[in-house]
Amino acid sequence: MSEHVQLSIGQVAKAANVNVETIRYYQRRGLLAEPAKPLGGHRRYSDQEVSKLRFIKRAQVLGFTLKEIENLLKLDGGNCCSETHDLAVHKLELIEAKMADLAAMRAVLTGLVRQCDIGDKQGECPIIHALLQTDDHDET
């Protein structure tokens, strides 16, 4: 698409593979500008909005929140590679911490399921029993 192409909101939504309400939501959040509405006409969008929508969706897939994406969009176009790098490193650290937490949860649940598998399934459920146990490390 060339920059002078003027699209309806529906065309932008289709080109970016989002729905119209997503575009309106992003406009309310300040991620996308809302074009002026000509008297008696419809708002028209350039292909830049399609590119920006695709950017937002790709960033979301990588785990960035809309607030973080807003910050990334503000950094676009400047000599901000260092700041963008720092944001990406921070996001990567958060993802790695979540993965470690998930691995620990998986290990505990795997052990509980194994206890249940070797049990007689007639008496006390080892999973329920383990979850009912308190330990000094719980904060709740």
pLDDT in tens, the chain (140 residues): 445 679 999 999 999 999 999 999 999 999 999 998 888 888 999 999 999 999 999 999 999 999 999 989 888 766 788 889 999 999 999 999 999 999 999 999 999 899 888 876 677 788 888 888 876 665 54
Residue 110 lies in a domain: yes
Residue 22 lies in a domain: yes
Residue span of the structural domain in which 130 resides: 94-140
Q: Indicate if 2 and 54 belong to the same structural domain.
A: yes
Residue 101 lies in a domain: yes
Residue 84 lies in a domain: no
Residue 86 lies in a domain: no
Nearest to 127 by CA among 139, 118, 136: 118
Residue 60 lies in a domain: yes
Q: What's the domain count of the chain?
A: 2
Q: Burial-class residue 26 by CB neighbours within 10 Å (0-12, 13-18, 19+).
A: buried
Question: For position 2, what pLDDT does the model report?
Answer: 46
In DSSP terms, which residues pair with 7 in a beta bridge? 45
The domain that holds 53 is classified in CATH as: 1.10.1660.10
Question: For position 65, what pLDDT does the model report?
Answer: 94
Nearest to 36 by CA among 14, 27, 69: 27
Q: Indicate if 55 and 6 belong to the same structural domain.
A: yes
Residue 47 lies in a domain: yes
